[in-house]
Structure formats: C-alpha cells, structure tokens
Structure 1
C-alpha cells in the first residue's frame, strides 16, 4: 500500500466557546485590582473627600461659641448641618477623582498596548466594554458610598457635640448621602466615555475635567439656555439634590426628579458611548 492509498480521516474542527459575560466581568475585576494604583487612588480620594467635609464641620464646631444667638438659631432652623455633610468642594474632588479613574480604566490598556491582546482574545468588543463599565460602576458606587457615608457620620458626630448634628432619618439627609454616593459612578462612566473616544491618557483626563467641572462652572442660570445646559450636568444635578437649606429665588427652577433623571441619562449615555466607540474603530 502506497501513501496515496491511505484513507483520509477527517479532523473535527475545534470551536472555542464564546466567553460568558460573567467571565468577562471577572477578568475585568481582576485586571482592575491587579493594579496597585487602584486601591491607593480610591483610598486617597475617599480621604480627601472626607477631609474637606470634616474640615468644614470642624470650623463650625470650633467657632460655634463665637456666633451670636441669632446665627446659631438660623444654623439649626435651616438644617445647615446637612450642608457640612457633603460640601461643594468635596463634590469637586469626588468628580475629579471618579472621572479620572473612569478614563484611566479605558485608556490604560491602550497606552500599554494590552488592548490588542484583549480584543484578540475576546472579539466581542461590545460585551467586553460592557463588562468593564459594570466593574467600574460597582467599584465607584462602593467608593462613593464609603466617602458619602463616612462624611455624613463624621461631620454630624462633630456637630452633635454642639447639639446641632442631624441623624440620617432627618428629612433630606438620606437624599444628600445617596446623591453624593451616586455622583461617583455617574462621573466615572462619563470619564470612561471620554477615554473610549480620545484613547490618550492625559488628553482623556483633561477632557473629563473640562466636561464635568469647567463647563458646569461657567454655565450661568441667569439665562434660559445656559440654565437648561447647566441643569443637564451632573454637578448641577448634585447641587439640586443636595440643596438642604432655604432656596433662593430661582429664575428657572427645576425639580429633584429632573436631577435624578440627569444622573440616569449620563450613566446610560456614558455606557452607550463606551460600548459603541470600540465596535467600528481600529485598535
């Protein structure tokens, strides 16, 4: 029998199983926490947020005896202790930290070139980025919850020494804590969208700062168009949700329901951009 007479045995092709979404989420979780900078960034960010809030409460505690009777009564009557629970400056720090972390979560792989290996191993780019968004959202939600919860507890504990601290069951207190906690994942997903579009580390961080901080800061509520644009930003939505004291007369007022809607739209829009931006673009 010659070689030509040997029977041809068909070889079954091996088809790799499609990666399950939970496996993709697990790999993104490991990838995120394998970076030593992740833990340190979250820790330092939370400490900075709490420090800003605690510093404001400490000032009120320290100079409380120097206030006149009318000022003390106004502080208590207007629930100004809730203003110390999460201050404007601490919100800026939270937005900066979360937006930057979200952008780095995407552009980090582009900078190292790991994204080519990732897309080769998982051709389903949309599912991969959706898993990345899910992981970052969970981490940032926990980060925001810790920062907001620790800020509320510490500030009200300090003010309670003067008899003006408020419990979490006080009207408006829980809303402030929840709104401050959710500000972190909303801004992180927005930062991811910027990173997916720009794909450069420093450029993406600067872009997220401009979009989340600088633009809302320059938009005024004195004109209808700029007021509407301002209301559509996470920073102004947080301000509306965290408004605990007496409200000044607004030219173009809006509701807390509209502020929650802004949160939801930014989260959904950022997720859509992050997932869709990698589908039809080159690595």
Structure 2
C-alpha cells in the first residue's frame, strides 16, 4: 500500500485591511461637532431655559421699577433717570450670575457627556488628531454661545427699556455706555462656556465639573475682597469682575475703588479667559487616554 502525501502550498501573508483616506478637514470636524451638538434634544432646551431665566430676571427688575415708580419721591425719580440707572436693569447682577452658571454648565456637559457615554473613544478612533477634534468643539461652542449671548442681551435690553420708557426713565442704544454694557453681557456667555468646557475636559465628570465652575466663576469673586491689594488684583482677573467693571464704567459713577483698574484690562480678562480655556481643552487630551 502506498500512502499519498498531501502537500499544502504556502500561503502568502495577507496584508492588514486598511481604510486609508484623506484626513478629515477642520471644516468637516466643525460640521460633525455642529450635528453632534444639536442631535441631543436637551441642548435646545438648556439654551432656551437659560435664556428665559436671564431675561426674566432682568425684565422682572425693570417691571418692579415701573410698577412702584410713583412710590418713589420726585428726587429719587430724577436721580434714576438722570444717572441712567436703567442700564442696571438692562442686565442685572442676578442675571449675570445665572448666565455664567448656565453657560459654564453647558460648556462642561458638552465634553463630559461624551466621556460619560464613552462616545469620545469612538470620536478619537475615527479622528486620531485629538487636538483638532477639541479645537472644533471649542469653535462650535464659542459660536453658539456668542449668538446666545447676543440674543439674550438684546431681548433683555428691549424688554427692560419697554417697561421703563413708560416712566420716561429708559435709555436708548445711542446713549453713552449702552453698547458697552450689551457687548460685555453678550460676550460673558462664550467666556463662561469656554471656561466650563476647559474644566470639563480636565475633570471629565459632569457633577464635579459643574461644582468646579461654581467655585471658580461664582464663589471666588465673592470671597476675594477688593479692600486689599493682592486679593483685589486676583479678583480683577475673573470674568465676572470684568463684567462688573465694564458695566460700572459705562455708568461712569459709583464709589471710587481703592484699587481701580481700566476697562481695557477688563476686556483683556475676557480675551485671556477665552483663549486660555480653549488652549487648556485642546492640549489636555493630547497625551491622556480616553
């Protein structure tokens, strides 16, 4: 009997399957982040409720002045109109606090939500250029929050001055300082959202990130006294203090500060917070795992 020997021909090693293609353009990343932002039903509601709360605070203050106008004496009425205190109603302190808290939370959730669901791994697998992805997120967030701030500031101004115009105590867009108050109030939104975005990128947990936003953006300005040089300088570096300086500068009145600073310095604080926050978010993911 003979046994047949079977031989197997050597097989050539198979090359790994690759899906080579052109790298994603930055405009493609922006388009993807735009779709991702509005794919969640909660996003429009967060912006809408935040806008409603801010406008309601401002309009409510102006309505109180309108309703109880005749309970003030003539001197108080003249003082209110002459010193253009309607600018304080156009964007109140409480409204600024709500705006900062809401937009910082939205900025933090825009990145912590992806870390919480694990979607960030899919994103970084599809686009290994992590810094480009985070830069696209920052661009979309800054654009949306800027439009939000402009609309909220405009709606607040229109509603508050409509009430006060009935008492001949309103201001118009052409009055000195009005545009500065509106610009400072509108741009406070992207500054706060980018700050929250940076904290969310570093912390990666929604609840902890929001607590950090409250501590850094809201509590620090209250804890730092403006009666001592060091704490006053530190307080001047915060965005909420910058907004207060720009608003008070538009009114050109009030008690003199012990350690005064310029309006240019307040605008610089705005710019540095936005730029540094975006840079932190972009650089924080470069060498960290998902």
TM-score class, shorter: over 0.9
Q: 1:280 to 1:65 in 2, by over 3 A?
A: same
SS of 2:244's partner is helix
Q: Are 1:156 and 2:161 matched, yes or no?
A: yes
- 2:104 counterpart of 1:99: yes
> Is the aligned partner of 1:281 residue 2:266?
no
- After TM superposition, the structure 1 stretch with the greater mean CA deviation from structure 2, 76-85 or 12-21, is 12-21
Aligned equivalent of 1:192: 197
What is the CA distance between 1:12 and its match in structure 2?
Answer: 11
CA distance in 1: counterparts of 2:19 and 2:78, whole angstroms: 77
Q: Would you say 1:36 and 2:38 are equivalent positions?
A: no
Which residue matches 1:123?
128
Deviations 1:147-190 (A, max 9, x none): 11100011011100011111111100011011000000001000
Alpha-carbon offset, residue 242 of structure 1: 1.0
Q: Distance in 2 between matches of 1:210 and 1:11?
A: 51
Q: Are positions 1:222 and 2:223 aligned together?
A: no
Q: How many residues align?
A: 282
- Residues 37-66 of structure 1 show CA distances to partners (whole Å, capped at 9, x for unaligned) of 100000000000000000110011011111
Q: Secondary structure at the match of 1:220?
A: coil
**What is the 5 A alignment of 1:225-240?**
225-240=230-245
Is the partner of 1:242 in helix, strand or coil?
Answer: helix
Q: Is the 8 A contact 2:84 2:170 kept in 1?
A: no
DSSP 3-state at the match of 1:143: helix
Shift of 1:6: 11
| Residue 235 to residue 15, structure 1, CA distance change in 2 (3 Å) | same
The structure number with the bigger radius of gyration is 2
Partner Cα distance (1:119, 1:57) in 2: 48
Q: TM-score, normalization: structure 2? A: 0.93
Matched residue of 2:54: which SS? helix
Q: TM-score if structure 1 supplies the norm length? A: 0.95
Instruction: Give the match for residue 270 of structure 1.
Output: 277
Q: Using the alignment, how far apart are the partners of 2:210 and 2:12 within structure 1?
A: 63
Determine whether 1:252 maps to 2:259. yes
Flag structure 1 segments of 5+ consecutive residues without an equivalent: none
In structure 2, C-alpha distance between the alignment counterparts of 1:180 and 1:37, rounded to whole Å: 24
Q: C-alpha separation between the residues in 1 aligned to 2:161 and 2:22?
A: 54
2:65 maps to: 60
Gaps of 5+ in 2: 1-7
Cα drift, residue 75 of structure 1: 0.5
Alpha-carbon distance in structure 1 between the residues aligned to 2:31 and 2:11: 48
Distance 1:169 1:122 in 2: 48
CA shift for structure 1 position 15: 2.1
Matched, 1:211 2:209: no
Distance of aligned partners of 1:215 and 1:11 in 2 relative to their CA distance in 1, 3 Å threshold: closer
Runs of 4+ in 1 over 6 A off after TM superposition: 3-8, 10-13
Moved more, 125-134 or 63-72: 63-72
